Amino acid sequence: MHAPAVLSQAHAGANTAPPLKRDAKAATSSIVPENSRSSHIRRLFHSLSVLAVVAGLILVLGVITAKAQSKQSALVNYTGISVEPSPQLFATMCALDAAGFGADETTLAEMPSRLALREDLLKMKGPATEALRQFYGEHLLADPGETLSQYITFALVVGPPPDFRYQMNHELLPPDVIAIEDFQEILVNFYREARLDARWASVAPEYSRAVARFDPRVRKIVTDTDNYLREIFKPKAGHTFTVFVEPLVGVRTNFRNSGDRYAIVIGASGPFPEDEIRHAYLHFMLDPLPMKYRDQIMTRQALLNIAARAPRLPVEFQTDFLAFTDECFIKAVELRLRHLSPAMLDASLKAADQAGFILVPPFVAGLQKFEKAGPAMSYYFPDLLAGIDVEDEQERLQNIHFAPAPEAPEPQKPQAASKQTSDLGEWLERGNHEIAAHDAAAASRTFEDILEKYPGEPRAIYGLAIASVLGGHAARAKDLFSALVTAAGSKSPGVRNVTERPDPTILAWSHVYLGRIYDLEGDRDAGVSEYRAAIAVEGAPEAARLAAEHGVEEAYSPRPRENQDNGNSKTKGPQNP
């Protein structure tokens, strides 16, 4: 298995990047207790001469000393910061390959072995593979990016193969992982059937080359950031920052943290996501400070009443002053690291104010003083907080004009049309999230609201059909899917005419779902007809085509779901397609 590139820091003030250390076992070998040699030494005294005892003691002490030195070396080299591939991500992406996820194969231009593996996985057959494809089809979201994000989050909260055990209690799992929690069992079975351990060995060299390309650039981000903060990161068990390289994620980046474990997933092609990696690393380094000085921060909470009025301030910061302060602090450090001209800095500070991040300007003012001082940031942070005067800031902001939300109406018609499109996209995304959370009632209400405002919108009809499947309303789902596949103006109960031809993804999956409904009704001929219609859809996604081919070969039978003893029993009900 490929060893991660571990970033080793000798000291924070170095002008050159520290050398990379490649030692996958450094973290673990440094914490394994040394076995006691006392019983062995006592036996030596009973069986050997004094001279032999002395020689044996010298030998044993030499071994102990060598191992102690090895442990000390591992501690020196281990920083908890690394660039590496992830066997969990690899296995998850292989599963998505086999399921027909529409990855951008141009991202594999420099990885011919991985591209060949993807093509091979698409052709796989077997019970575990078919169960995987069925599960994937049943949990597919309308937005491919949202679908991918779910599975990446899953890969970041499970342990290594072949068991992929969750690394946290069920109640702490992210909501998007809970929506696909049964994927863990699916992946375990697929990993064995596809022999992904052997397949990983064949592509590991390509991953190694991809990791090597990013080592120096990530190292420079770490070094430049630590130099600015004047910090020496002190490694501790469980506090890690990892840049995972997975080619099939494309140009998207995914940043997650679970407790003290911070991870960002990047692709192997496209522009290097320097800003995103730096932002994630700043969270890794600086998040502990607001927690440590929580009491001092909360004395300034009145300022959140001003910031919360900003239409562009993300909802997660509108009621959490600690998280809001942390984000403003990190944004301020990012501005100083960019070495902007005075004019550009003023423009950036104004933009931060208008977006609601009103603590960025006072933090920047404090950082300008910090740059001329001597202490490390961990010691200087209370001085930054002391520089934020609530009354001064309230006076500075009393006449502020926040920027409107991106979807705010504009007088020009083209922009009004853009607002309408933005509203529709947000509502569709909300409905998709509710489906992912298996909240059929909420999803149904959302898609029905969309259809009130956008009659006949195919994506809303499809979403309502999927919500009906989840809710056990097979007859309603059948009517909705039928309206989509005909797209000829026929009406369904409670739904207006379909106003346009659905895209290939919706059309193909609607045929597949209709085929499954007919199979469950015992009308095999009608089911096969729908599966063949799905195969014939030009531009249909590979996952839908594979599901349809399986439907032609064998009548649909729902995968049984067993209740899990986790304190959250699943309600049994009629099986849905």
Which tens digit of pLDDT belongs to each residue from 243-295?
999 887 777 788 888 778 899 999 877 788 999 999 999 999 999 999 999 99
Q: Quick check: is 28 in a domain?
A: no
In this structure, how many other beta carbons lie within 10 angstroms of the beta carbon of residue 13?
9
Whether 158 and 205 map to the same domain: the answer is yes
pLDDT at 78: 54
Q: Is 326 left (phi over 0), alpha (psi -120 to 50) or beta?
A: alpha
Same domain, 62 and 101: no
User: Residue 373's pLDDT is what?
Assistant: 82
Question: Is residue 78 in a domain?
Answer: no
Do 128 and 244 lie in one domain? The reply is: yes
pLDDT of residue 371: 94
Contacts of 200 (CB under 8 A, 6+ apart): 1, 87, 90, 91
Tell me the three state secondary structure of residue 441: helix
Buried b / exposed e over 192-216, threshold 16 CB at 10 Å, is ebbebeebbeebbebbbebbeebbe
- 340 domain residue, yes or no: yes
59 and 132 both lie in a single domain? no
Residue 559 domain flag: no
Residue 243 Cα distances to 6, 166, 225, 333, 541, angstroms: 10, 20, 16, 21, 30
Res 470: pLDDT: 80
Based on its alpha-carbon atoms, the radius of gyration of the chain, rounded to whole angstroms, reads 29
Give the CA-trace dihedral at 227, 229, 231, 237, to 10 degrees: -110
Q: Can you read off the two tokens belonging to residue 247?
A: 């080619």
Q: Which domain holds residue 357?
A: 287-396
pLDDT of residue 365: 96
Statement to judge: residues 479 and 360 lie in one domain: no
Residues 377, 297 share a domain: yes
Question: Strands 240-245 and 81-84: what pairing?
Answer: parallel
CA distance 454 to 542: 29
Contacts of 401 (CB under 8 A, 6+ apart): 354
356 with 444, same domain: the answer is: no
Full DSSP string of 363-429: HHHHHHHHTTS-S-HHHHHHHHHHT--HHHHHHHTTT--PPPPTT---SSHHHHHHHHHHHHHHHHH
Judge if 108 and 257 occupy the same domain.
yes
Predicted confidence (pLDDT) per residue in 207-224, tens digit:
888 899 898 999 999 999
Structure tokens at 451: 């259809």
In the chain (577 residues long), the average pLDDT of successive 10-residue segments reads: 45 34 31 33 35 37 38 46 92 90 60 77 89 87 81 92 89 84 93 93 86 92 95 80 86 82 86 92 94 95 95 91 96 95 94 96 96 91 95 94 69 38 69 74 86 85 86 88 71 51 82 90 91 85 78 79 39 43
Token digits of residue 438: 């298996």
> Does residue 305 sit within a domain?
yes
Structural domains in the chain (count): 4
- The order of strands in the sheet holding 261-266 is 20-21, 5-7, 81-84, 240-245, 261-266, 254-258
Three-class HEC string of 7-35: ECCCCCCCCCCCCEECCCCHHHHCCCCCC
Nearest residue to 246 (alpha-carbon basis) of 102, 112, 99, 108: 108
Q: Give me the pLDDT at residue 5, please.
A: 54
Residue 233 pLDDT: 76
410 belongs to a structural domain: no
- 8 A C-beta contact, residue 432 and residue 415: no
Q: What angle do CA 269, 274, 276 make, to 5 degrees?
A: 100
